Amino acid sequence: MLVVVGLDSFDSETISQYSTPHIDAVRESGEGGRLHTPVGLDRNELITQVLWPSMLAGGNPKNLFPSYFENVGQSTKQWNTAILENPLIQRFESQISSSLSTETKQKMKKIAERLGAQKEDLGENRLQEIDSLLDDADSPCVISLPGINEDAVNRELKDLITPGSPKSSSDFSGYIPSIESSAFERKALSADADRLIRLLDAVESRQHDFVICHFFSIDLVQHIWADTPSKLERWYGIYDDYVGRVRQSLSENDTLVLVSDHGMETEGIHSKRAFYAANKQLWEETPRKMEDFRGVLESELQEHSSSDDNVEDNTVQISGDTRKHLSELGYFD
């Protein structure tokens, strides 16, 4: 079985600052380090909902989704770089942002989303037109992958954060939660804990040759607290614990891949420092490029097949035991 754990916004430099023994063990048994984001993409073009489908399809997002970048990306890019970086505009934005209520900010955010292209279905629609790693697998299992089948709870969580000036509060980076920080963290943690259970169930069922699960909450957390080491230490530690639990569920011949779509700057904006690790040597050439991700995994997938259907189905028990244990650790309310 080939198991891919998607760790959204895991930064290849940030991770080195914290203790992640389970992730380190994966790297030490195989390989790991920086994964270079697609050529020609600026930081503000590192869009989660197009990066993940592009990784499965194998190619540059601008080639796979040209209409999106032409119709929306270009105007957004020009606005972000030419206008929003102007100090006077930044000061004005900060003053306006501080004077608006949270409810008004959320309404404006939703209106802006409606005016732009809908990103959530881009990948699913495109992968119906071209082949991808999912077509290479006999029995794939895809858990909440952005652009393809992303959980609705992700949008709910995104609606709970609003853009803010880094100077508006010493506690936050680029975004501010609209509810109490502790309440937001609990909701975010619960969402990914639920995905962990689904991932463990899929792995331990032995019914798939390819399983990919995307963990999203770390992206939101870093948008909010990218310059707060204590928060990052806690959350990178949480996902390291997740990786440890996945490793425990693997069989001897399973291949585990950890990957992110981009990193995160301390200002709470995306960086080009994506992260990659695997429990065996897969990449023949370095630097590792995101456009080659599909080809590398395609070769590895040929070494795996779906397990015998006669394997005992104990997923209900697995789910119950895992949920109980995670609840005891505080991963659920």
Every domain of the chain and the residues it spans? 2-328
- pLDDT over 70 for what percent of the chain? 73
In terms of C-beta density within 10 A (0-12 exposed, 13-18 middle, 19 or more buried), how is residue 324 classed?
exposed
Maximum pairwise Cα distance, the chain: 67
Tell me the mean pLDDT in the region 238-245.
97
Gap between the Cα atoms of 13 and 208, Å rounded: 33
pLDDT of residue 267 exceeding 60: yes
Gap between the Cα atoms of 191 and 200, Å rounded: 15
pLDDT of residue 315 exceeding 60: no
- Topology (CATH level 3) of domain 2-328: Alkaline Phosphatase, subunit A (3.40.720)
Res 127: pLDDT: 78
Q: Which residue has the higher pLDDT, 249 or 163?
A: 249
**Which H or E run includes 124?**
helix 122-127
Q: For residues 25 and 278, is the Cβ–Cβ distance under 8 A?
A: no
Q: Is 214 helix (H, G, I), strand (E, B) or coil?
A: strand
The pairing of strands 175-177 and 161-163 is antiparallel
pLDDT of residue 68 exceeding 70: yes
pLDDT of residue 81 exceeding 60: no
* Number of Cβ atoms within 10 Å of the Cβ of 167: 10
Res 56: pLDDT: 95
Is pTM beyond 0.85? Reply is no
Res 174: pLDDT: 78
